[in-house]
Structure 1
Amino acid sequence: MYDRILVATDGSENAGRATRHALELARQHDAELHALYVIETRTGYDNAIVDPEVVRQNLREEGEAALSAIEASPDAEVSVTTVIREGVPHDELLTYAEEQKVDLVVVGAKGRSAFKTILLGSTTEALLRADTVPVLVIHGETGD
């Protein structure tokens, strides 16, 4: 049923839950697992206080740490391809899914957004609206 599964991560707890689901699905289906971290480029850091290159480097380091955690997970009984891209998260996820012929995208319902009252994060909602690849949305545990 699934030959290639893509999990989106931003290092958040919800992404961690999505990753555990993706790892288990990949194991059950003997599927390739791809993990993608997208450095958001829409955020403006054009003031004299914050250097955009420092922000980009910090985000890259966060992405490397999040992807390394997936590779090192004790649940990782499958091989994992990890990728960092820069751009608009949902666009990069959809492009990658198309390029790699992904059968399923697994995402957390919400990422690191400060808007805890939103049911779905903007990236997750955009993936669902695109309707080009099946998307499995993993919601947080009770109390999130």
Structure 2
Amino acid sequence: MKLPGFKTFLVPVNNSESARRAKRYAIALAKQCGAKVILFHAHDLISGRISPSGREMIIRKNLEEMGKIFAIFVEGCREAGVEFEIVVEQGTTSDAIIKAASDHDCDMIIMGTQGHASARKILGSLSDTVSKQSSVPVVVVGEECECSNSCGTSCQNKWRFAPVPNLQHAC
């Protein structure tokens, strides 16, 4: 059954458990909707005080590390039969996420949250900033149930649809 209206989801990618939770949720929802997933990463602007060769080296190292992380996310998409695209941009993370969602005509941004409630109250969080500034809906995926791999009935009760089974080894 395809759900109407959702064609493209933007999923910010980094090496955190919260990003992996968002990936599992996005893949399950994209499979239900027949939607495409944009796997997105923004690397921060690099100081002008660093030489051009130094900046290039930092960017290259960041992209190498992200390549390994993207491989895990890509495996999950392929395993579920979900269409995906990888997009990497440079810029302030929140601004880059919002711009990418607009540039790629995304219907929704799906991202994780780190917890640390006391720090979020004082400093704000990336998910708070994106949700306040985005013109498209932002789904913030919090903690999962005890099964931690999105295949149990607790997740199904929480999310109100059946997550894609057997993604735990791709997480």
TM range (shorter): 0.7 to 0.9
Percent identity, aligned pairs only?
A: 24
Match of 2:142 among 120, 139, 142: 139
CA gap 1:116/1:56 in 2 versus in 1, 3 angstroms: farther
**TM-score relative to the length of structure 2:** 0.69
Equivalent residue, structure 2, for 1:70: 73
Alignment gaps of 5+ in structure 1: none
Counterpart residue number, 2:129: 126
More strand by share: 1
Q: Which has the higher helix share?
A: 2
Q: CA contact under 8 A between 1:109 and 1:119: conserved in structure 2?
A: no
CA distance in 2 between counterparts of 1:130 and 1:27 reads: 27
Q: Distance in 2 between matches of 1:64 and 1:99?
A: 22
* Distance in 1, Cα, partners of 2:85 & 2:96: 16
Larger Rg, first or second structure (1 or 2): 2
| Corresponding residue SS for 1:20 | helix
Report the RMSD for the aligned CA atoms in angstroms: 2.8
Give the distance between the partners of 2:119 and 2:84, measured in 1 at CA.
31
1: CA distance, partners of 2:8 / 2:14 = 20
Cα deviation for residue 75 of structure 1 reads 4.6
Bigger mean CA offset, 66-75 vs 124-133: 66-75
Q: Distance in 1 between matches of 2:85 and 2:112?
A: 19
Structure 2 gaps of 5+ residues are 146-171
Post-superposition shift, 1:47? Answer: 7.3
Tell me, in whole angstroms, the C-alpha distance in 2 between the residues paired with 1:141 and 1:27.
Answer: 19
Give the C-alpha shift of residue 32 in structure 1.
1.1
Q: 1:79 aligns with which of 76, 79, 83?
A: 83
SS of 1:118 mapped into structure 2: helix
Whether 2:102 is the aligned partner of 1:98: answer yes
Q: Give the corresponding residue for 1:20.
A: 24
Deviation at 1:82, TM superposition (A): 0.8
1:89 equivalent in alignment to 2:93: yes
Normalized against structure 1, the TM-score is what? 0.80
Alpha-carbon contact 2:22-2:110 (below 8 Å) kept: yes
From 34, 59, 62, the counterpart of 1:59: 62
The question of 1:2 aligning with 2:3 is answered no
